[in-house]
């Protein structure tokens, strides 16, 4: 059986509904999974018309919401985006969907709504009933024929704060979450490379001792548990190393700079460490072209196919 993927349609006033529609009817996507659109049917109809898309050919889980003012920022648009995402995540927790993909949202609209939101990883964790620190981010993209996956030990924190957050238990938790996510994606025996935090991975203590005192012991512990993890490697050469299914970095920019340089419009952001496979696209809601049928859905399509290309839904028992 093909896996079922819930697509939360994002900001109803942006391009989220349009790229969701285009991705859901894409032959490549439909060959790999059964997509289900989560959001207002009325909103989807507004965005489908300029694209010539018929809604009756698509699966829709209708969410009653007020019609948006397309191309504008409004609190109700932020609430609508998060409501659709929450419904999709709750459905995945209940076993209705095998994975969830979130279409672009507008940070300003969510902020105006007054809802608590500091990124999808902590949002997904909250819906799943987990502490925010249990969820991490993995950036996924293709470059030069290689599937690149970069997970982060720390994310949205100042460098000073991030250094304090890098502990042995946190590194181990990130490595375990990375391995679990790779297995959920269909990789039976994942191989993971881990970066250092200091230049040249500390150069045997010359540039810092985090690699010796924190990172190497964490690697040894997960290796004893049977995980295939190697490192620590210098962050500047980490991604040159082939033969790995994922890379784990210590700091935000160690992963994001590479991803946005190599694949600025094609990065999928996968939340790991939670029981729900959740991915979002790496671009915004493009309010200036919303509702015109001009949006490029390639990033949305890639986010979906990347989640399901290596897996198939288990038969019902």
Judged by phi (left if over 0) then psi (alpha if -120 to 50, else beta), residue 52 lies in left
Which DSSP string do the residues of the chain spell out, in sequence order? -PPEEEEE---TTSSHHHHHHHHHT-HHHHHH-EEEEEE-HHHHHHHHGGGT--GGGSEEEE---PPP-TT---HHHHHHHHHHHHHHHHHHHTTS-SEEEEPP--HHHHHHHT---S-HHHHHHHHTT--GGG-EEEEEEEETTEEEEEEES--SS-HHHHHHH--HHHHHHHHHHHHHHHHHTT-SS-EEEEE-SSGGGGTTTTT-SHIIIIIHHHHHHHHHTT-EEEEEE-TTTGGG--S-SEEEESSHHHHHHHHHHH-TT--EEEEESSSS-EEEESS---GGGTTTT----HHHHHHHHHHHTT--PPPP-
Residue 129: Cβ within 10 Å count: 10
Confidence (pLDDT) at 311: 59
Handedness of CA 314, 245, 281, 266 (dihedral sign): negative
Q: What is the pLDDT of residues 241-294, one digit of tens each?
A: 999 999 999 999 999 999 989 987 788 899 999 999 999 987 889 999 999 999
Domains, the chain, ranges and CATH?
1-135+274-317 (3.40.718.10), 136-269 (3.40.718.10)
Q: What is the pLDDT of residues 152-202, one digit of tens each?
A: 999 888 999 999 999 999 999 999 999 999 998 889 999 999 999 999 998
Q: What is the pLDDT of residues 203-226, one digit of tens each?
A: 999 999 999 999 999 999 999 999
Task: Give the confidence band of 76 by pLDDT, cuts at 50, 70, 90.
Answer: very high
């Amino acid at each position: 059986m093909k896996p079922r993927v819930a697509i939360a349609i994002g900001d109803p006033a942006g391009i989220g509904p349009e790229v969701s529609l285009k991705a859901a009817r894409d032959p490549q996507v439909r060959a790999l999974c059964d997509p289900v659109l989560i959001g207002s049917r009325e909103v989807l109809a507004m965005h489908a018309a300029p694209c010539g898309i018929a809604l009756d050919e698509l699966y829709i889980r209708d969410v009653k919401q007020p019609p948006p003012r397309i191309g504008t920022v409004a609190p109700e648009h932020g609430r609508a985006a998060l409501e659709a995402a929450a419904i999709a995540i709750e459905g995945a927790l209940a076993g209705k969907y095998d994975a969830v993909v979130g279409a672009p949202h507008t940070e300003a609209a969510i902020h105006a709504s007054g809802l608590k939101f500091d990124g999808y990883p902590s949002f997904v964790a909250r819906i799943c009933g987990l502490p925010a620190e249990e969820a991490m981010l993995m950036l996924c993209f293709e470059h030069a024929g290689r599937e690149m996956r970069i997970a982060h030990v720390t994310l949205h924190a100042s460098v000073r704060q991030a250094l304090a957050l890098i502990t042995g238990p946190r590194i181990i938790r990130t490595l375990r979450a990375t391995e679990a996510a790779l297995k959920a994606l269909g990789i039976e025996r994942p191989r993971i490379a881990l970066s250092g935090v200091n230049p040249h991975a500390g150069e045997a203590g010359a540039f810092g001792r985090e690699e010796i005192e924190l990172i190497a012991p964490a690697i040894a512990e997960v290796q004893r548990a049977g995980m295939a993890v190697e490192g620590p490697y210098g962050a500047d050469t980490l991604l040159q190393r082939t033969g790995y299914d994922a890379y784990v970095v210590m700091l935000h920019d160690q992963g994001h700079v590479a991803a946005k340089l190599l694949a600025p419009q094609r990065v999928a952001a996968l939340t790991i460490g939670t029981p729900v496979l959740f991915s979002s696209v790496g671009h915004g809601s493009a309010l200036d072209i919303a509702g015109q049928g001009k949006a490029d859905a390639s990033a949305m399509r890639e986010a979906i196919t990347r989640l399901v290309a290596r897996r198939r839904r288990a038969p019902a028992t």
